[in-house]
Amino acid sequence: MKTVSNVVRDYPHVSARTRERVQRAIDELGYRPNMMGRRLATGKTGLLTLAFADVGIPYFAELARVVSRAAEARGYRVLLEETDATLDGERGILASSEAGLVDGMLFQPSVMSSTEIARHRSDLPIVLLGETAAPLTVDRVMIDNVAAAAEVTRHLIAAGRRRIGFVGHEEPALSETSRQRIMGYQSALEEAGLQPDAGLLFPSASISAADAAAAVGAALDRGASFDALVCRDDLAAIGALRALHERGLRIPEDVAVTGWDDIRLAGMMFPSLTSVAPDLDALASQALDMLFERMAGFDGMGRHRIAPHGLVLRESAP
């Protein structure tokens, strides 16, 4: 029994002859190791949960891809879990009454508060993704949203834009993501001596191109005037493009537009989207590094890491 186990797992101290004999039997019988047995015995499942709002949102889909590849490289598989950005959904993720299904979890909360996350004392190693306020006790990776938002805003200012709006944040309850991006946007305006104008903030009913288009369209129809839009994410930017196109405005001549996330389709819009590009590979590997350290027993304070980002200049805001 043990010898077979050793052969299956490539344990070195097995004589070539025995190994070969066992292997032949394995092949003949079509034996497949049963994971559940192995995992019960070792206590490791080889599974990770990746939880976020909705795979149908391109950013998350691309994140899932990157995480899943990175996990696979470390011998892990990924279980996808969607919260629909609801409190219940997110609580369900943390509560998930069954233990031992996964060895660790990568979790991007949308609405849960830092304190509620902190209160959840679970034995499951967790690393948080994204900007939602993370408790000091929990690891987290994000990009520097404030800095990136300031960069993109500065880029517009340098191109001569003076009335710069912001599109796509939630209302009335701002997500931490939106808050940080708006902070960066505002600080860049102020640093250039421009007056932030609350009338140039255009919230969207949901994270979707359709709602962003509706918001920008309504603003234009009631006479709002701006020469650039910083969008919370690429979906909002795509919606903004659509609303502007519909009303015959030229992009970027009349209004420059920037997105965020640099999703695959960003370059295929017309005009193509200038966008903040988080380094997903770095983000995923930093997150997994910390998660594996936790799984290996590390029990220190929460580490908060910053993943790099870039700004990809395209036609919508050259």
To a copy of itself, the closest distance from the beta carbon of 65 in angstroms equals: 5
Give the Cα-Cα-Cα angle 115, 206, 154 (nearest 5 degrees): 85
To DNA, the closest distance from the beta carbon of 8 in angstroms equals: 6
Residues between 173 and 212 that touch a copy of itself (CB under 8 A): 208-210
Q: Name every residue whose Cβ is closer than 8 Å to that of residue 36 and which is 6 or more positions away in sequence.
A: none
To DNA, the closest distance from the beta carbon of 40 in angstroms equals: 4
| Cα–Cα dist 293/76, whole Å | 14
Read off the tokens for 162: 């003076």
Read off the tokens for 312: 């990809």
Q: Which stretch binds DNA (CB under 7 A): 10-18, 132-140, 194-202, 277-285?
A: 10-18
Q: Which stretch binds DNA (CB under 7 A): 3-11, 68-76, 159-167, 256-264?
A: 3-11
Residue 68 interacting with a copy of itself (CB under 8 A) = yes
| Cα–Cα dist 43/10, whole Å | 19
| Cα–Cα dist 68/96, whole Å | 21
Q: Which stretch binds a copy of itself (CB under 8 A): 178-186, 220-228, 241-249, 298-306?
A: 241-249
Q: What is the x/- site pattern for a copy of itself, positions 265-304, by CB under 8 A? A: x-xxxx-x--------------------------------
Residue 43 CB: number of other CB atoms within 10 A? 8
Burial of 19: CB neighbours in 10 Å, binned 0-12, 13-18, 19+: middle
Beta bridge partners of 50: 80, 106
Q: Name every residue whose Cβ is closer than 8 Å to that of residue 89 and which is 6 or more positions away in sequence.
A: 53, 82, 83
> DSSP code of 266?
G
To DNA, the closest distance from the beta carbon of 12 in angstroms equals: 7
Q: What is the x/- site pattern for DNA, positions 289-318, by CB under 7 A? A: ------------------------------
To a copy of itself, the closest distance from the beta carbon of 155 in angstroms equals: 23
Q: Footprint of a copy of itself on this chain (CB under 8 A)?
A: 32-37, 39-40, 45, 47, 54-56, 58, 61-62, 64-65, 68-69, 77-82, 97-101, 208-210, 213, 235, 238-239, 241-242, 245-246, 264-265, 267-270, 272
